[in-house]
Amino acid sequence: MEALKSAFDFSDFPRSDLIVAGLGALFILLFPLFPHSSFAMATMIQFLMFSLYGMGWNTIGGYGGQVDLGKAQYVGIGAYTTAVMLIRWDIPFWISMPIGMCFAVIWSFMIGYPLFRLKGHYFAIATIATSLVLLDLFQVWDFVGAARGLEISPIKYSPPDFWRLIFKEDIYYYYVISGFFFVGIFYINWFRNSRLGFQLRCIKDNEDVARSLGINVHWAKIKTYAIATAFVSMVGSFHACYIKNIEPEDTMSLDISILIALMAMLGGAGSLWGPIIGAGVLIPLKSYLKEWLGARAGLLGIDLIIYALIIMVISAVEPRGIWGVIERIRGKRGK
């Protein structure tokens, strides 16, 4: 009960934040009622998925300050668990998703225990290495379709199938993922004021001080890593049902890991709104730039060049990301 109360307690944010957040939430809920193209719908679903990935990353990467660049392996574990279970044994999404989360968390404990002996750059690169090892394994593992991947054919089921999460129209997927999105926000809101959340921020500021205060640093990091993993794997399961065609290259490539970390870092790591802002800016930018410049004008790669330039400018000018820029403006106005 206490936890629920603190999950819904946003009172430590300034009123302007809450008004903007409320308007944003209203927009997300009402978006399908406005006339929209299917492309805009797909972009919105991508945005919600990546904000969830980012929220997961933000627990360990933002509050904990451990830059993790291997989140794609958990997207893969979640997606593959759901797809394999649905195709082979007809196990519906709502059962396979928690199972996938369990697998992902077990794997995160297994690699997290040695990983967190490393710090900083060493940790970041080691997470990439584990992710790539898992990717290579999935590419030759026949049980999960090897390099061809798996395909969930919607013909076998009768959409709309809420139990298996097989739909024809995107609007159903939209509301499922926005449900996850709001649950995610409340969870992170609880997390940031939980005991673990405070411990993590202390670890981020100074690990030695944290240890001297009696915090089990290693264990706190592993626990948070598991939380981040559960988030990512949950959306991975959704990804399998939404995309319906999963290949190791698409779901587990390093690009996904980088994108997840970039969104959160660009938006502002270590704040509740950061990953959402990051995804809200980058995902539409990416898909529309690709649509306008890449596909129509035939300029391969120019979308990602502009995208990369924005990342470079932000990282050089304001390392705290877009949220840092907002806070700086607010600080000036306050004076």
Which residues are at the interface with other proteins (CB under 8 A)? 61, 65, 67, 69, 114-115, 117-118, 120-122, 124-126, 128-130, 132-133, 136-137, 139-140, 254, 258, 261-262, 265-266, 269, 299-302, 304-305, 307-312, 314-317, 319
CA 193, 267, 133, 92 torsion: positive or negative? positive
CA 314, 316, 317, 318 torsion: positive or negative? positive
User: In a 3-state reduction of DSSP, which class is residue 262?
Assistant: helix
Residue (28 or 55) nearer to other proteins, CB: 55
Residues 79/239, Cβ–Cβ less than 8 Å:
yes
Min separation Cβ 258 and other proteins, Å: 6
Residue (66 or 233) nearer to other proteins, CB: 66
Residue (29 or 308) nearer to other proteins, CB: 308
Residue (91 or 311) nearer to other proteins, CB: 311
Residues 308/258, Cβ–Cβ less than 8 Å:
no
Min separation Cβ 42 and other proteins, Å: 22
Min separation Cβ 181 and other proteins, Å: 24
Rg over CA atoms, the chain: 20
Min separation Cβ 310 and other proteins, Å: 8
The token pair at 236 is 């991975």
Min separation Cβ 321 and other proteins, Å: 8
CA 199, 59, 13, 184 torsion: positive or negative? negative
Residues 75/237, Cβ–Cβ less than 8 Å:
no
Residue (133 or 209) nearer to other proteins, CB: 133
CA 99, 145, 44, 233 torsion: positive or negative? positive
